Chains A and B, each alone.
Chain A
Amino acid sequence: MKEGFDKHHLLGIEKLSASEILFIIKTAEAMKEISYRKIKKVPTLRGKTVITFFYEPSTRTRTSFEIAAKRLSADTINISASTSSLVKGESLLDTAKNLQAMQPDVLVIRHPHAGAPHFLAKHIKAAVINAGDGMHEHPTQALLDAMSIMEKKGDIKGLEIAIIGDIAHSRVARSDILLFTKLGARVRIAGPLTLIPPYAETLGAKVCGCIEEALEGTDVVIALRVQRERLKQVLFPDLREYAIRFGLNKKRLSLTKRGAILMHPGPVNWGVELDPEIMDMDRTIILDQVTNGVAVRMAVLALVTG
Chain B
Amino acid sequence: MKILKTAIALICLSLPAYAAVPIQKVTSPGGITAWLVEEHDIPFTALEIEFRGGTSLDAEGKRGATNLMAAMLEEGTGDMDAQAFAAARDTLAADIDFSSNKDMVSVSARFLTENRDQGADLLHSALVAPSFNESAITRIKAQIISGIRSSNQDPEHIARQAMASLVFGNHPYGSDDSGTEESVAALTADDLRDAHAAALARDRVYVAASGDITPEDLGKLLDRVLGDLPATGAPMPADTTLDDKGSTTVVDFPTPQSVVSFLQPGLDVQDPDFMAAYVVSEIVGGSRFTARLMDELRSKRGLTYGAYSNMVTMDHANFMSGHFASDNDKVAEAVQVTRDVWADVAENGVTQEELDAAKTYMTGAYPLRFDGNGPIASILVGMQVQGFDIDYPKTRNQLINALTLEDVNRVAKKLYNPDALRFVIAGQPEGMDQN
- Are the chains A and B members of one assembly? no
The interface of chain A, by Cβ under 8 A from chain B, is none
Q: Which residues of B contact A (CB under 8 A)?
A: none
